[in-house]
Amino acid sequence: MAKRDFYDVLGVNKSSSPEQIKAAYRKLAVKHHPDKNPGDKTSEDKFKEASEAYHILSDQERKQNYDNFGHSAFENGGGKGGFGGFGGFSGGDFSDIFEDFFGDFGGSGRTRGRKNNNNRGSDLRYDLSISLEEAYSGKKQDIKFSTTEKCNTCKGNGSKPGHNPGQCSMCGGNGRVRSNQGFFTVQQTCPQCTGAGEEITHPCNDCSGQGNKQTSKKLSVTIPKGVDDGTRIRLAGKGEAGSRGGASGDLYLFINVNSHELFKRSEENLFFEFPISIADAALGTTIQIPTIDGGKAKIKIPDGTQSGKQFRLRGKGMPYIRGSGNGDLYVQINTEVPISLNKEQKELLEKFRKIENEKSNPSIKKFFQKAKSFWKN
């Protein structure tokens, strides 16, 4: 089943403020939380749906990507411009988001040991320009970029060798702190340890307790056949390293396909304009054209071909990025009127003008018949 629009799920729109989005989610979360509806699969599904929608729309970067690319921005396969999204959403996050609002709802006691997503590494973007020929055939490309990687000295935990992170003094290792708000006791992420339940008491000298270090990385990437301008490729886990053992972010390749001097592209189809002389258009000819794979193809131009006529070569376009086969190549014939004639050419054309008749130029005859009718009125 196709996913519902996240704005429809929460009952908000793109112009809604963060406060309105938060309030809409809060209302749905209270109504459909599994602890209030035990055994109700429908409520559970609605709770998960609302939690996923809020996870995306509550973060400005994720919201922007959703507005631009829709659900395809967060799928592992991607769509146009996509092989994944900016920040995933795992099943364990549903209760985490709810608990950020309400704490341990109904005494379920699910706070200790939850994964801290705040330590996840940042996603990275790399813009890569390729030619249309490379988009046709695909390619392997080495890229170099600045990022962070796990500190080898502390193995990513942020503490000096021989030491381990200690229990957070504010939350007692629970990762949560409680506060009273009116009739409710609200449990929220601990601001000191950001939910990890630990704090660095003996910071690593090499990474200053962060668990990662700045570095330059070289990576070999594969550009699949058929990529289009604006295609986005997600390389999971190739972004910046997380802090204090957090998961790595993702690396996104944004593909720019350069304009071609001969071919124009529309999705998987290619378009090509071929100029011919008046004589070839009138008498017919056979032309030889280039194809994107570096080969050649012949097209028979019948006599009387009008300027703008298109001929279709099946399977001579770009590869389909999903599935097999190729699009088509459309060749448009453009008749070129000579701009410089010698004496003999002029004489021949004068003779032709004198002997041409209405059968030779049916469009001209039809036009003047319409014009005469218009003038009479």
pLDDT classification of 100: cutoffs 50, 70, 90: low
* Tokens encoding 269: 């189809």
Closest by CA to 94, choosing from 62, 127, 53, 149, is: 53
* Tokens encoding 78: 């991607």
Q: Are residues 365 and 272 in the same domain?
A: yes
Among 257, 280, 314, identify where a domain stops.
Answer: 257
Answer whether residue 89 is part of any domain. Answer: yes
Contacts of 172 (CB under 8 A, 6+ apart): none
Q: Which residues pair with 301 in a beta bridge?
A: 285
**∠ CA(36), CA(41), CA(47), 5° rounding?**
60
Could you read off the pLDDT of 331-355 as tens digits, one per residue?
A: 999 988 888 888 888 888 888 877 7
Answer whether residue 64 is part of any domain. Answer: no
Answer whether residue 67 is part of any domain. Answer: no
* Tokens encoding 266: 């529309």
Q: Is a pLDDT exceeding 80 seen at residue 94?
A: no
Q: Across the chain, where does the E strand assignment appear?
A: 124-130, 139-150, 166-167, 176-181, 184-189, 198-199, 212-223, 232-235, 251-257, 264-266, 269-277, 285-290, 296-301, 310-313, 329-336
Give the integer Cα–Cα distance in Å for 226 and 132.
Answer: 9
* Torsion angles phi and psi, residue 277, rounded to 5: -80, 165
Q: Which residues pair with 212 in a beta bridge?
A: 150
Q: Are residues 93 and 114 in the same domain?
A: yes
Give the integer Cα–Cα distance in Å for 257 and 318.
Answer: 13
Could you read off the pLDDT of 104-150 as tens digits, one per residue?
A: 444 444 444 444 456 788 889 999 999 999 999 998 989 998 888 88
CA distances (Å), origin 190, targets 8, 59, 187, 208: 32, 19, 9, 21
Q: Which domain holds residue 126?
A: 72-257
Q: Are residues 51 and 119 in the same domain?
A: no
Answer whether residue 147 is part of any domain. Answer: yes
* Tokens encoding 50: 């609302």
Residue pointed to by tokens 């699949």? 224
Q: Are residues 342 and 229 in the same domain?
A: no
Domain of residue 360, CATH code? 2.60.260.20
Residue 199 · residue 205 · CB < 8 Å? no
* Tokens encoding 1: 């089943």
Among 27, 58, 89, identify where a domain stops.
Answer: 58
pLDDT of residue 180: 66
Answer whether residue 65 is part of any domain. Answer: no
Q: Are residues 203 and 268 in the same domain?
A: no
Half-sphere exposure (CA, 13 Å, Cβ side) for 61?
A: 8
Mean pLDDT confidence for 153-164 = 83
Quick one: DSSP state of residue 128? E
* Tokens encoding 322: 């999903």
Could you read off the pLDDT of 239-261 as tens digits, one per residue?
A: 888 776 678 889 999 999 999 99
Residue 140 · residue 221 · CB < 8 Å? yes
Whether the pTM exceeds 0.75: the reply is no
Answer whether residue 226 is part of any domain. Answer: yes
pLDDT of residue 163: 86
Q: Are residues 308 and 347 in the same domain?
A: yes
Q: Are residues 326 and 356 in the same domain?
A: yes
Q: Are residues 185 and 334 in the same domain?
A: no
- Dihedral (Cα; 40, 42, 47, 53), 10-degree rounding: 170
Answer whether residue 63 is part of any domain. Answer: no
Domain of residue 49, CATH code? 1.10.287.110
Mean pLDDT confidence for 165-183 = 76
- Listed ranges 90-104, 175-189, 333-347; the one with the highest mean pLDDT: 333-347
Answer whether residue 66 is part of any domain. Answer: no
Give the integer Cα–Cα distance in Å for 107 and 135.
Answer: 56
Closest by CA to 144, choosing from 251, 49, 56, 60, is: 251
Q: Are residues 168 and 83 in the same domain?
A: yes
- Dihedral (Cα; 47, 49, 54, 60), 10-degree rounding: 170
What is the number of domains present in the chain? 3
Among 201, 232, 257, identify where a domain stops.
Answer: 257
Residue 85, SS3 per DSSP: coil
Q: Are residues 80 and 140 in the same domain?
A: yes
Closest by CA to 94, choosing from 58, 36, 51, 32, is: 51
Q: Are residues 175 and 212 in the same domain?
A: yes
Q: Are residues 275 and 235 in the same domain?
A: no
Closest by CA to 237, choosing from 123, 155, 141, is: 123
Alpha helices in the chain (DSSP H): 6-10, 18-32, 41-57, 60-69, 93-102, 132-137, 278-283, 343-355, 362-376
